[in-house]
Structure 1
């Protein structure tokens, strides 16, 4: 099922939350909606789900205008950061809620429950009390509940936000694999760049209620629309003289034995080490290296920048937000 937001504007209590937001998500496509807190991500998702009526604009499903259609009649599934399970129902009762509301026969409801739990890796847990579930299990049950009605579109609002460490990474990987197998149309809201890049076929960056850029993860990293997008993606090497802005991607910065710079910071994350080097002229650059034998803080080094990793980007100022 195709989903489109057309020129969506939302004003709440006199405050503009979304301004002229247009997105098209193709059938079977996964779109990650990425942005900082307060950028309007969750509001956009609520508009798509039918939980928030837009002030202006339309929501289309397979070309049909559903702006005025209530959530339960849109054929979409919704998963929140908080699993929001019904504590008085067991796992099967939670997962089967949608098929029950749709008045499906009991045998079909039971089959949907078994199917959905198997999809999320919880086969055989139908009778579990939801109050005994771990955080990761609760989110899987919430996902199964959203999948049981077999929605045409699945909307996820920071579903991994309450999880941390290996559990978050494992569920992220499981979600990506599940979406690929089911070929679902998915909108996944997150503030985490790595999560957006891992799950989205495309990533839409939202800034101050407007779309700053929409691109594949590869294209977004290779050529951010402006200096704000580059910094938000985690690029430290953004330089501006007030007239021009340039990004030097960290993987383009080679750190070699020699002279001309000094290592001022080294942070390891598993096999990857982020180095910050200060050139003798005062400019600081972030570099990414892999391995065990890497330069240490205080060590003199030479810096070699691959020109293919240097990109000119647009300037951005808060008083003149770019629409991308």
Structure 2
């Protein structure tokens, strides 16, 4: 499977614009959406994770994002997809900080991690392998050279980056066969690691740009407010990751957003992200299958198989 950039966002979309009109939801091209699995095996049990994957496939979503450092997530995703007979694209990650011993030679460690991911995901090739965070400059050359070898062996397809700023992007070594095709960074109405200079540099280098946590860890899902600031089962109630340490000061603003958009705050926030100039797509992190319903019904004329083979 070759991973290529998705079509550019419509020129009618501009910063701050939205396609949200009342409660009507226009279908979002599935080529602009991916399902994140960071919660699989953590705050999302295996049975519910399988339900999320099934709902995603039923809605025409054909790509999934995971990581070696997400605990059991790769194995759960592999089991959930097993036997479904649906063409999908899977992106996983290696974290230099969490997965590698930087004091030891990297090639053997990287190969072992790739083989482990392949086993967990029940695949013979990783469609997209991403660096979860920047490599130390002194180790970037050997690490990318190892990825070039793994590509020649057919164990990995494309290469991507995650959580890289402009300096880290510019520090990526120029090694044949390892040019990244994608950068994914945090981006939402409440917090963004995507600067205009960074997205412009990505465009100049042919990198797709994906936004993770477009609903700010659930803060923009429409379930938070002054009256009920910590819904049962939410990340805030569990003490999970959010882009801010204290949600209290945000609650009045969230109430105002909900009043403006009614029941469609989550969709309005997602549309805003997808309308950001230079942003190719968004990675959704549902905790329940019904959370995916915010994207609206699949376009009956959409090519779902294309969404699995022209990911980036």
Pair in the same fold by TM > 0.5: no
Q: What TM-score, normalized by structure 2, do the two folds share?
A: 0.31
Q: What TM-score, normalized by structure 1, do the two folds share?
A: 0.30
Instruction: Compare CA radii of gyration and give the structure with the larger one.
Output: 1
Relative contact order, CA 8 A, sep 6+: which one is greater?
2
